[in-house]
């Protein structure tokens, strides 16, 4: 699985002018299931992200996790994280999981984040979503379970 994690002061996701999910301080997690991914990758990624120390402590050092600060996570599916730009100018997405499997693993990942004690909000898999965020730092981190 691939994830792009952004430390945010606030974030929201909207579909057809309806806000589906919004959070205050926490993480915006853009997530993509890749071909061959399973629950094991989602489990590892959720556990790692929940413990990722990217929030400032009292000394201003990145030493606290989203759980430590009582933050939330907005989880948004983003198959374009599977983009292959090695040939031509049009990205290919053939390494992304099939839509049914991608949706299942997206929901599973969000459930695993919640199981880590992180309050979550979600987008809608496959929808044309509008995502708003106020990146704090900015702090943006790329994670891939293949690495």
Catalytic machinery residues = 78-80
Q: Which of 139, 97, 12 is nearest to 107 (CA)?
A: 97
* CA dist., res. 51 & res. 125, Å (int): 25
Check if the beta carbon of residue 109 is closer than 8 Å to that of residue 1.
yes
Task: Detail the DSSP E strand segments found in the chain.
Answer: 2-15, 18-23, 26-32, 55-56, 62-64, 72-77, 120-122, 130-144
């Amino acid at each position: 699985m691939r994830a792009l994690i952004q430390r945010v002061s606030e974030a929201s996701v909207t579909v057809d002018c309806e806000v589906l999910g919004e959070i205050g301080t926490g993480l915006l997690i853009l997530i993509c299931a890749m071909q061959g991914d399973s629950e094991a990758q989602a489990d590892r990624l959720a556990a790692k992200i929940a413990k990722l120390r990217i929030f400032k402590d009292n000394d201003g050092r990145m030493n606290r996790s989203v759980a430590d600060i009582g933050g939330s996570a907005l989880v948004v599916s983003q198959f374009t994280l599977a983009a292959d730009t090695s040939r031509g100018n049009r990205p290919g997405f053939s390494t992304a999981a099939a839509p049914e499997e991608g949706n299942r693993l997206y929901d599973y990942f969000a459930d695993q984040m919640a199981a880590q004690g992180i309050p979550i909000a979600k987008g809608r898999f496959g929808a044309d979503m509008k995502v708003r965020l106020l990146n704090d730092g900015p702090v943006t981190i790329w994670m891939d379970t293949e690495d």
